[in-house]
Structure 1
Amino acid sequence: MIDDSKVEVRIVDESKGKGLYAKEKITKDSVILEEDPLVSCQFSWNAAYGYKACDNCLRPLETALENAQRLTAGQVEEMPYPECCTTDKSKIVSCPDCGVEYCSEICQTEALNQHHRVLCLQTTERNVDIHPLLKLEETWKQMHYPPETSSVLLIVRLLARILQAPDRSAAIQQMLSFCHRSVNEDKDLAHKFLGSEFAQHISILHDLLVKAVPNEGIEQFLTLEGFQSLLALIGTNGQGVGTSAISQWVKNVTEMELPEMERKGIDKFIDWLYDQMEENVGQFLNNEGVALYTLQSACNHSCIPNAEPSFLHNNHRLSLIAVRDILEGEEILISYLDECTLTRSRHSRQKELTKNYLFQCKCPKCSEQAGDPDVTSDEDQNMSDEMSD
């Protein structure tokens, strides 16, 4: 599903390629577009630590109470206003062959039609010493401890989607439309994506991938160069997804009209709840995963973005929200950097963008700061400390 009535993709210029533009005036805080991803998957460690999510859309499979009990190590006995929980466990279904769970029959059917027929592991195959798909995931996990940023299983689902597509050539073209880079650029991005410690193991991942999926019709992606291109694709276009039964409960409770004393009591409970969860699991509160979005991936970067991704439906459906008014014909820009990095020096921002995306940002903020010293924020702080000493 894609709601793209307010936007269109255009060619920006030769250096940037395509970009996303507003077809009408869009007001601050409004939804610019909504789209379901081409593919998505939960992070492997996130699933291993018991974060239960739909294997198709990442919607939570726990109730708010179950979620709170797990994240506080059993310190919560009951949740007030249980009607504010959005998880409907009566709709949860599982694959009869491999046991993976879905939030509804709709999601189960979607997954089956898109990729699960290729990737379904029979119960007898679910042994890491036997099945190459499980070997691939375990090898990946040893390279990517939390906090996770992507998953090799996204590549697996991409390839399975092509294999199951009614029009295989169209599915291939859709995937190739994400970006076009040279072989050397793909290799450089793949190595940076894996990290210096694990870049030398790329051939191991490649060999496991080749054994994990059928080869017929996708040979171009199963060469070493093809695999490096896919790693570069998910590394530069993958969008993090987070869902939470508790966050939805909190949102619904917060929107309730309550007497003042009752509101103070529930606010105090929510503060206590988050303190207990943070003490037990740190910042790892959500079901987390990664997805590829066709329209969102067309958005170029700016250090002063006018839009940001959000997940209003508590599943993998992405909503792009305007953070200021956007004029008709204006390019819609997001930040490829996290909020913390955006506050750092121009040199720090450019260093991150060059390393991870192979471009120099020329947004108004970077242009205005072009005369600033070419030092990172840390180096600048060290210099200031030395001068004050």
Structure 2
Amino acid sequence: MNFEIRTTDSQKGKGLFAKCNIPKGSVIFEEDPLVSCQFSWNAAYGYLACDHCLRPLETAQENASRLTGQSVELPYSECCATDKSKMTKCSDCPALYCSDQCKFEALESYHSIICVHSEDPNSQHPLVKLNETWKQIHFPPETNSIMLIVRLLARILKSPNKEAAVAQTLQFCHRTVNEDADLAHKLLGEKFAGQITLLHNLLVAALPHEGIERFLTYEGFLSLLALIGTNGQGVGTSAIGEWIKHVEKLPLPDDEKKAFDVFLDQLYDQMDEHVGEFLNNEGVALYSLQSACNHSCSPNAEPQFPYNHRVSLTATRDIEEGEEICISYLDECFLERSRHSRRKELMRNYLFVCRCSKCESEADQEDVTSEEDDQCEDD
């Protein structure tokens, strides 16, 4: 490996460091998540994705027709990456998979613990109640899912070495009880913070207890909510997006490329009119290595998702041997804001004061929010 995990300062705990010079554009590592799941409303609105890896289960043409609300004929249909002949499902519940391999991995890792054994969407199974309760708390645009916690705990229950699985989970849990409570309230929002007890009771009723008792206490549940709130990584997949990538690799003559660009512009206009910005199968995942990456307002790496829920950490500039490998926890818009605004957002969502090189170099800035920040937030 071209990196190693080291203990850093008391604020960060651990971090990733380069063991050699890493050129810009290099893939530092690729990693499958410990667990991942589709957002609850995303699934409810008919965004068909593999229940394990989030691979699209629609063809690009089906995807385009649903997102535009009309029948669409896509050119270069041979570039669609969806192979519906490999699709399969759980024999006992509605879970769909892109392949037998994903079905097997899901059953072996967690699904046999959490299968609701019913095709009825109105089933009274505790997990169905938990998911429906979460949906009434966490409306689109979605940022997380209670079902990530369910799969994480089911993974421990299925593990042949529960102690090791618990230890791996605990590496993400390193805050105080008060900090966990603050992050849990932030995740749910002020309006729904009072529902934590209800969610906790539903989770306790939904799963076996042996081996995960420490996580099923109220304090343990707060810790898990804080975990997914700070370490959950958003994942998006798209049948249309994959189709476009393949079409763009075709050796098309210039006039066909121009015609394709015009077609795409019209297609995206139609999709925007019908569904707005909600184009992808969207979900959340928890990664072991990627979660060890600390934040910088001047990052040298970024996560990408070339293969469904698999993350690829790529260098965005040359990284020197011994340098810490950092990503941004803020989106691109926030990175352009003032030091005060960036630090405020990081403290609000992650409970730390950023001391990266960019923040230190801007120490002379006033601790105020600028008009540009307000404009960016409005956008």
Does TM, normalized by the shorter one, top 0.5?
yes
**SS state at 1:232 partner:** helix
Contact 2:200 2:221 in 1 (8 A): yes
CA distance, structure 1, for counterparts of residue 244 and residue 53 of structure 2: 21
CA distance, structure 1, for counterparts of residue 21 and residue 275 of structure 2: 43
**SS state at 2:267 partner:** helix
Counterpart of 1:223 in structure 2: which amino acid?
T
Equivalent position of 2:155 in the other structure: 161
Say which of 373, 383, 388 aligns to 2:366: 373
Say which of 100, 105, 110 aligns to 2:100: 105
Do residues 199 (structure 1) and 199 (structure 2) align? no
Shift, 1:36, TM fit? 0.1
CA distance, structure 2, for counterparts of residue 173 and residue 248 of structure 1: 37
Contact 2:50 2:57 in 1 (8 A): yes
- Normalised to the residue count of structure 2, the TM-score between the two structures is 0.96
1:179-233 residue CA offsets vs partner (Å, 9 max, x unmatched)? 4111111111111111111111110110111011111221111111000000000
Say which of 354, 359, 372 aligns to 1:361: 354
CA RMSD of aligned residues (A): 1.4
**SS state at 1:14 partner:** coil
The size of the alignment, in residue pairs, is: 375
User: Quick one: structure 1 residues 367 and 209, their matched pair in 2 at CA, closer, same or farther if it must change by over 3 Å?
Assistant: same
Equivalent position of 2:53 in the other structure: 57
CA distance, structure 2, for counterparts of residue 333 and residue 181 of structure 1: 21
Equivalent position of 1:74 in the other structure: 70
Say which of 249, 262, 265 aligns to 1:255: 249
1:73-98 residue CA offsets vs partner (Å, 9 max, x unmatched)? 0141x111111111111100101111
The unaligned stretches of length 5 or more in structure 1 are 383-389
Do residues 331 (structure 1) and 331 (structure 2) align? no
CA distance, structure 1, for counterparts of residue 20 and residue 119 of structure 2: 55
Contact 2:302 2:327 in 1 (8 A): yes
CA distance, structure 1, for counterparts of residue 142 and residue 374 of structure 2: 29
User: Quick one: structure 1 residues 185 and 328, their matched pair in 2 at CA, closer, same or farther if it must change by over 3 Å?
Assistant: same
Say which of 306, 309, 319 aligns to 2:312: 319
Task: Map 1:209-358; keep pairs closer than 5 Å.
Answer: 209-313=203-307, 315-358=308-351
Do residues 119 (structure 1) and 136 (structure 2) align? no
Shift, 1:146, TM fit? 0.7
Counterpart of 2:335 in structure 1: which amino acid?
L
Shift, 1:126, TM fit? 4.7
Contact 2:341 2:373 in 1 (8 A): no
Contact 2:92 2:119 in 1 (8 A): no
Equivalent position of 1:139 in the other structure: 133
Counterpart of 2:78 in structure 1: which amino acid?
E
Shift, 1:260, TM fit? 1.3
Counterpart of 2:296 in structure 1: which amino acid?
S
CA distance, structure 1, for counterparts of residue 120 and residue 177 of structure 2: 36
1:53-112 residue CA offsets vs partner (Å, 9 max, x unmatched)? 000000000010000000010141x11111111111110010111131100000000000
Counterpart of 1:108 in structure 2: which amino acid?
K
Shift, 1:279, TM fit? 1.3
User: Quick one: structure 1 residues 217 and 211, their matched pair in 2 at CA, closer, same or farther if it must change by over 3 Å?
Assistant: same
Contact 1:125 1:131 in 2 (8 A): no
